[in-house]
Amino acid sequence: MNDNRHQQQDTAAYQRVADEETPLLRSDDTAVAVAATEAETGISNNSSTRSSAEEAARRRRDELKGYVFMAVSALGFATNSACVKALAISNFPSLEIVFARSVMQLGLGLLGCLFYRINPVGPIGSGSWPVRKLLILRGAAGAFGNACFFYSVTVMTLADATVVFFTGPVFSAIFANLLLGEPYGRFDRTASAICMLGIAFVLKPTALFGPRVHDPSMMDIGSGDSSYNQLRGAAAALIGAMSGALAYCVVRKVGRSVHSMVHVVYFGFLSMIGSAAAMGAALQTKPAPRLPNTLYEWAVMGMVGTFAFFGQALLNRGLQLAPAGPGTLMRNLDVVFAFLFGITLFDEVPDWISIGGAIVIVGCTVAMGMHKWISHSRQQQ
pLDDT at position 164, please?
A: 94
Torsion angles phi and psi, residue 19, rounded to 5:
-155, -175
Q: In 26-157, which residue ranges form alpha helices assigned H by DSSP?
A: 27-41, 45-89, 94-116, 129-155
Taking the C-alpha atoms of residue 112 and residue 207, their distance in angstroms, rounded to an integer, is 51
Distance set, CA 210 to CA 213, 217, 358 (Å): 9, 20, 20
Other beta carbons within 10 Å of 179 = 15
pLDDT at position 37, please?
A: 45
- Per DSSP, 54 falls in state H
Residue type, 116: Y
Which run of H or E residues covers position 298? helix 295-321
Distance set, CA 100 to CA 90, 105, 137, 261, 340 (Å): 15, 9, 21, 19, 25
Determine contact, residues 368/177, Cβ cutoff 8 Å: no
Other beta carbons within 10 Å of 34 = 14
Taking the C-alpha atoms of residue 161 and residue 7, their distance in angstroms, rounded to an integer, is 71
Query: How many residues does the structure list for the chain?
Result: 381
pLDDT at position 47, please?
A: 65
Q: In 226-259, which residue ranges form alpha helices assigned H by DSSP?
A: 226-254
Taking the C-alpha atoms of residue 351 and residue 233, their distance in angstroms, rounded to an integer, is 18
Over its length of 381 residues, how does the chain's per-residue pLDDT go in tens digits? 445 544 444 443 333 333 333 333 333 444 444 344 444 444 455 666 777 887 778 888 888 888 888 888 888 989 999 999 999 999 999 999 999 999 998 999 999 999 999 999 988 877 788 899 999 999 999 999 999 999 999 999 999 999 999 898 889 889 988 888 888 889 999 999 999 899 988 887 665 565 555 554 444 444 445 677 888 899 999 999 999 999 989 888 888 788 888 988 999 999 999 999 999 887 776 788 899 999 999 999 999 989 988 887 787 788 778 775 566 567 778 898 899 999 999 999 998 988 999 999 989 988 887 787 777 777 766
pLDDT at position 241, please?
A: 94
C-alpha neighbours within 13 Å on the C-beta side of residue 366: 9
Q: Which residues contact 19 (CB under 8 A, 6 or more apart)?
A: none
C-alpha neighbours within 13 Å on the C-beta side of residue 76: 18
